[in-house]
Structure formats: structure tokens, C-alpha cells
Amino acid sequence: MKLIFVIYDGIENSVFPSQVLAPILNRIDENKHIEVTLVSFERKSYSKNFIQKIIPDYERLDFVLLYKPKFLGKISLMFGVRPLKKLIEKIKPKQIIARGPLAGWVVLKVNYSNEHLMRGEQRSLIVQARGLLAEEFRLASRLSRFIKKILYRIYLNIEKEVYASGVEIESVSQALKGYLVETFGTDSSKFSIAGKDIPKPIDKKLVNIWGKQVREELNISSDAYVYCYCGSAHVWQCIDEMIEFFTEEIRKNPKAFFLVLSGSKEVLEKNFTEAKIDKRKYKIIKVSYSDVYKYMSASDAGLLFRKRDIVNWVSRPTKALEYRSVGLKIIHNNTVGLLAEK
């Protein structure tokens, strides 16, 4: 069985290792008859050595890089249709999976404009809904109000075109499914809820071993109650709110400790300094993705605070999945539907 997996948000995206590559490798390991071609649309080219650092050589996995121009609307996406069409004609996959509406739009244009490719073949197409493209742009963009409004409408139209097309949709949450049905008129019978990209629980014995090792390495007391935050310092991640929460916890429990796993160390150090938190009560370190679970294991609870916004409500935060995989209690501010439902 040949499968093509198409992404448009790049191999350098922070969730690529856990949410794209790992599930693909798991598919290959679980089924010896599967051959996967991962197609990524990228603004720049990469050296072979750089790619191998991100995507290691793996049996029955091929990687194809296709060029994408600067986004100027649907005309930019059209640049990807012809090269993807040639690739599909060559591979003749039984299944195509597109991650998100931009990749989904390109794949749909290949199929709809070249129906002969589908004729006589049983080929399925799944679009993975992992968030809300237009709303995420609205929340994160720092462009002028005029440009932002134009691009927002373009993204919204692309989402509507893809999600109302009648293809199979794989959603990360029931909240996202409900939003797509209500907003874009997506057929509710076409949905499935994603499960293959959820990290598997890690053996408790291994978690305990890792936890002791990390606490010794970082000089964290064995009787400390450790709160963990793993992520960046974006505005919507509510760093100040988490620090405020931790400040209150210190007052209640002098043995409270905050372990922060982040590449935004300088920014976060400033936040902690401004909050006048004793440096002995926290540690900020950057770890590779392969070590994230090990360092999380030194904690008792994971913090996940988000701004109150539809983007966060329908999401399935990667960090929540990772916290759960090592058995951490998740402390949140009821802004993520998936957690609030629990």
C-alpha cells in the first residue's frame, strides 16, 4: 500500500517531530506493506545533511520537497498543483493524507482538475484538521489591520472550500468538529477523531527512573512538588498567568518548584526576574525533543494556560498529550475544550 502524506507548514515546524514524523514512522512499523512518501512544501531548499538530522533514513519512507512561494492567496497555492500531480501520477498511491487546509486545497485541486487520475482506482483522501487557519492567523499576525483583514478572508475562504468539499476529515477534537460543522457546513458523517498521533503512555517504572535521574542532575529536592511547563513564550501561552499561579503555590507550599523546558530562555528569565521569584525555586532549560519526556518525568504536574479564544478552545495541545504520556496531572485555566471536558 502506497501512501502520500502532504504538509504545508514545513519540517522546521515545532510539532513536526511529534505530530507528523512520529505517527508516520509508527504506521510503517505497524504495517510492513506500507510505503510512505512525505511531501513538504517549503520556501527554501535544504542540504541533505540538514534533512537527515530532521528526517532520518527509514525503510519504506521517502521524502520529497516541493517549492512554495510567498503566500499571496490561492494563486500561490496553485504553484504546487502541477508538481504534486506529477508525483501522484508516478506513485499512484492508495491513500493521500493532507495536513491542514492549505495542503488539502492543493491536493483537492490535483484531484478535481485531473479526474482521470482517480478513474478506476480506489484512492481515499483524508484532510487532517489540526486547528483553525484563519483564526490562528488573526490571533498571531502583527501585520497592518488592512492587510490582516484581506488575508484573514482569504484563509477563511480556503478553509470553507476544503472543509465543505465532502472529503473525509480527521479532527483533533470534538470541539473542532463541532466548529467546522457549524461554521463551514462540513458533513458531520465525514469526521473521524485523530488517534494515531497521540503519544503512547510511557512505562511508569521508566518514568520513575528518569524522574530520579533528572532531579539529581538539576539538583531538585526529592520531596519538592515540581510544576512543569514545556513550550515557548508566545503571548497566547499566558506565561505571566502561569508565573502568577506558581507565585501563589510557593506561598502555600515552600517546597514548590517550577521546571521550564523551553528554547525561549532569555525571555522567560526576564519574566521570572520581574516577578521576583527566588532563582532557587525554578530552572529554565532547553532540551531536544528526544529528551522531553525524560525531563518531564521529574515533575508532578504540567501547566497549560491559554488565552480565552476559539483557537485554543477547539485545539488539542501537543503538550497536554505529552504531559499525559508520563502521567502528569494537568493544571489548566479551562480555555481548552478537550481539557475542560475532562
What are the boundaries of each domain within the chain? Answer: 2-193, 204-340
Q: Which element (helix H / strand E) includes 122?
A: none
Mean pLDDT confidence for 5-19:
92
Give the Cα separation of 124 and 121 in Å (integer): 9
Confidence class for position 112, pLDDT limits 50, 70, 90: low
Confidence class for position 18, pLDDT limits 50, 70, 90: confident
Give the Cα separation of 287 and 25 in Å (integer): 22
CATH topology (fold) of 204-340 = Rossmann fold (3.40.50)
pLDDT in tens, 241-288: 999 999 999 999 999 999 999 988 888 999 999 999 999 999 999 998
Confidence class for position 117, pLDDT limits 50, 70, 90: very low
pLDDT of 139: 87
Phi, psi for residue 142 in degrees, rounded to 5: -115, 20
**What class is the 2-193 domain?**
alpha beta
Averaged pLDDT of the chain: 91
Model-level pTM? 0.87
pLDDT at 115 over 70: no
- Beta-strand (E) ranges in 1-115? 2-7, 35-42, 61-67, 95-99
pLDDT in tens, 138-148: 988 889 999 99
Half-sphere exposure of 224 (CA within 13 A, CB side): 23
Amino acid identity of residue 64, one-letter, is V
pLDDT of 116: 44
Answer for the pair 99, 6: CB distance below 8 angstroms, yes or no: yes
Confidence class for position 122, pLDDT limits 50, 70, 90: low
Beta bridge partners of 37: 4, 62
Q: Do 2-193 and 204-340 agree at the fold level? A: yes
pLDDT at 120 over 60: no
Residue 218 CB partners (closer than 8 Å, separation 6+): 259, 283, 285, 298
